[in-house]
Amino acid sequence: MSKNTLTVTDNRTGKTYELPIENDTIKAMDLRQIKVNPDDFGMMTYDPAFTNTASCKSNITYIDGDKGILEYRGIPIQDLAEHSTYLEVAYLLVHGKLPNLTELKDWVKNITLHTFVHENVKKFMEGFRHDAHPMGMMISTLGALSTFYPTSKNIGDPEEIRISTHRLIAKMPTLAAWSYRHLLGMPYVYPDNELSFAGNFLSMMFKVAETRYTPNPAVERALDVLFILHADHEQNCSTNTMRSIGSSQADPYSCVAGATAALYGPLHGGANQAVLEMLDKIGSKDKVPEFIKSCKAGEGRLMGFGHRVYKNYDPRAKIIKKLADEVFDALGRNPKIEIALEIERIALSDDYFVQRKLYPNVDFYSGLIYEALRIPMDMFTVLFAIPRTAGWIAQWAEMLNDKDQKIARPRQVYLGARGQNYVPVRDRK
């Protein structure tokens, strides 16, 4: 009869250990009993970058990378992208279920009421250098928000968590748009609470002298769908940072500042920019075969292709590809799309990419849409951070309620020197 255990034999001692299996995992701490001598520390696992370590149990986002499945709280991303709005999805992530009509109205009202920031926030944003990168401005300003809401550090108080959740989701677009206006040297635009979440963001980005900015409905919807697609992606680098900082019981503004910093890196939030640069470098459709040949020869990577988890078409990329057509119908075709489509056509029928299961990822088409929306490259990662805030908060709140969690504190394998003598500086060679 099969048993839900794993038997491990330590060949150093000949001893056998039976470890319980739960949810297809063993507890790393169960290995600690494996010792050669009673005073040994015990066995650990070595897993740089946590490539095969589950750091938590979660009920928020499900990914099956082989089948190309992504679900938030069990609902397929395709259904959410087609039928939902970003704010409804944010509620779903944070509360674990879709809201009824009254809950949705209250939620939207609460988020909308918190879009404004203290005037002093505006003042210190104005103090950044004229060409400050918007992500740098976001990280610092988010950290500074914790000084405006000192009681937010009472993370045991559900009311504090509730209000910080509303504030963070609501204020991200305001800070994001202002960091962009700063780059342009244009006056910051205050939120327009009559507009939708995405519409208000577009207004704060692009309003000039008109009394009221009217967003193009196709652009507003496209942005909202992009927000839905980027709202969560389980234990990625920035979410792991959010949980890690949160595990020390820091306030949520400091946690989101740290998560935003993790997202800033080109390996995480910056790949769509690399795709546009690659398309610019290729220049025209007829140069694609030559470029693909160079990638296969190891002279560079096909940016926007491949994923650590998805070994199939990234489900978000499929939705974005369709969205790109809708945006181009409304705003005109981005000429780079022809190069992108040719890359996809050739790569998906090429043995090199097929054998390695390299498919377009979320970043392959998103940059083309942002470009069509007249959003500059420096803002791409900021546009990722706005919706990911809902995921970060949901993951952080889940961690706070998880009795298994403690302060994050990995172990190390120490390979350095021991027992060295301290030599005074005058005696050193």
Q: What are phi and psi of 257, to 5 degrees?
A: -60, -45
Q: Residues in contact with ligand ACO, total (CB under 6 A)?
A: 16
Q: Round the CA-based radius of gyration of the chain to a whole number and report it.
A: 24
Q: Within 10 Å of residue 409's Cβ, how many Cβ atoms? A: 8
Region 6-35 residues binding ligand ACO, contact defined as CB under 6 A: none
- Shorter beta-carbon distance to ligand ACO: residue 183 or 386: 386
Does the annotation mark 351 as catalytic? no
Known catalytic residue: 307?
yes
Q: Active-site residue 402, yes or no? A: no
Residue 232 lies near ligand ACO (rule: CB under 6 A): no
227 binds ligand ACO (CB under 6 A): no
Are 96 and 73 in contact, with CB atoms under 8 Å apart? Answer: yes
List the catalytic residue out of 95, 268, 350, 402. 268
The CB-of-68 to ligand ACO minimum distance in angstroms stands at 13
Residue 311 lies near ligand ACO (rule: CB under 6 A): no
Nearest residue to 364 via CA among 408, 418, 421, 323:
323
Closest among 365, 360, 367, 361 to 383, alpha carbons compared? 367
Least spacing, CB of residue 20 vs ligand ACO, in Å:
30
Closest distance between ligand ACO and the C-beta of residue 398, in Å?
Answer: 21
Q: How far is CA 123 from CA 134, 286, 319, in A?
A: 16, 50, 39
Give me the helix-helix angle, 380-400 and 217-229, nearest 10°: 40
* Cα–Cα distance for residue pair 427/420, rounded to 1 Å: 15
Contact map string, positions 101 to 140, toward ligand ACO, x by CB under 6 A:
----------------------------------------
Closest CB to ligand ACO among 191 and 306? 306
Read off the DSSP letter of residue 25: B
**Rule CB under 6 A: which of 345-384 touch ligand ACO?**
356, 358, 361-363
Among 175, 295, 375, 385, indicate the residue that binds ligand ACO (CB under 6 A).
295
Q: Up-side HSE of residue 231: CA atoms within 13 Å toward CB? A: 30
Contact set with ligand ACO (CB under 6 A):
268, 271, 295, 301-308, 356, 358, 361-363
Give the residue numbers annotated as catalytic, written as ranges: 268, 307, 363
